[in-house]
Amino acid sequence: MSELSTTITLTGGAEIPRYGYGTFRIDDAEAAAAVTAALDTGYRLIDTAVGYQNEVGVGRAINGSGLKREELFLTSKVWDHGYDEVRRNLEESLERLGTDYLDLYLLHWPRPEVDRYVESWRALVDARSEGLIRSAGVSNFTVEHLTRVQAETGTVPEVNQVELHPYFSQPELRAYHDEHGVVTESWGPLGLRGEGLFEEAAVRAVAEAQGRTPAQVVLRWNLQRGNVVIPKSVTPARIRENWEVLDFALTDDELAAVDALDTGRRQGGDPADVN
């Protein structure tokens, strides 16, 4: 990977690959073939969730890949909140995935109206201490949610997976993460509404100068801004194209040009409203 490490060491000691494969909106029937194509391409971080309803297919691909389990970094997420509910969901995910442990387990959303995310977080901390998961994190948490978790438990998530792309780059949240040792993981790294980013003059100019596609420029921007990135595609050619971002680098001026696209507006759900 040009000028970047290939992994980041989490506060718990596990090493997470900087670049992975997301499986959002890939159903169980498609998941095995799609994840197999990703693994064949070189991806070793695979991201799924209970809510994606594709853990069986993901597990089939992983267990049929011929790769050693320790060569892979497997992430899943839990939607249900409550200590016992999280533990039950974890056991069910492990069974569906056909593995004894997860490398990373995330609370999928804070769900503030339910107001059990602190209790749920404690279940992840205990699962980590028992070896059922190697790393514990959250997804779609804001500074407010992270601050409360730390204040009430004395622990900090190792990862926060959030919507992050040039239109919504979350600089304040990333600064908080950096200060507290939380790794930023970017979902929706190419934006969520069509291919609008790819038509931006700034992105197209960088793509032309680098001899790359607009998508590759946006993915590379994510990496160079310090994020773990998990693009998703079910098309083998696009899976390979997305992978080919590890051998070039954007200049400081090119990074700044993409930074300038930030609107400060979400395209996906608001953590204050998703319950």
20-22 and 7-9: which strand pairing?
Answer: unpaired
The span from the CA of 20 to the CA of 38, in Å, is 9
The span from the CA of 227 to the CA of 201, in Å, is 23
The span from the CA of 173 to the CA of 171, in Å, is 6
Contact 85, 121 (CB under 8 A): no
**Catalytic site residue 52?**
yes
Per-position b or e across 129-163, b if 16+ CB within 10 A of its CB: eeebbbbbbbbbbbeebbebbeeeeeebbbbbbbb
Instruction: Select which of 19, 21, 43, 52 is catalytic.
Output: 52
Contact 44, 17 (CB under 8 A): yes
The span from the CA of 189 to the CA of 219, in Å, is 7
The span from the CA of 217 to the CA of 229, in Å, is 13
Residues annotated catalytic, as ranges: 52
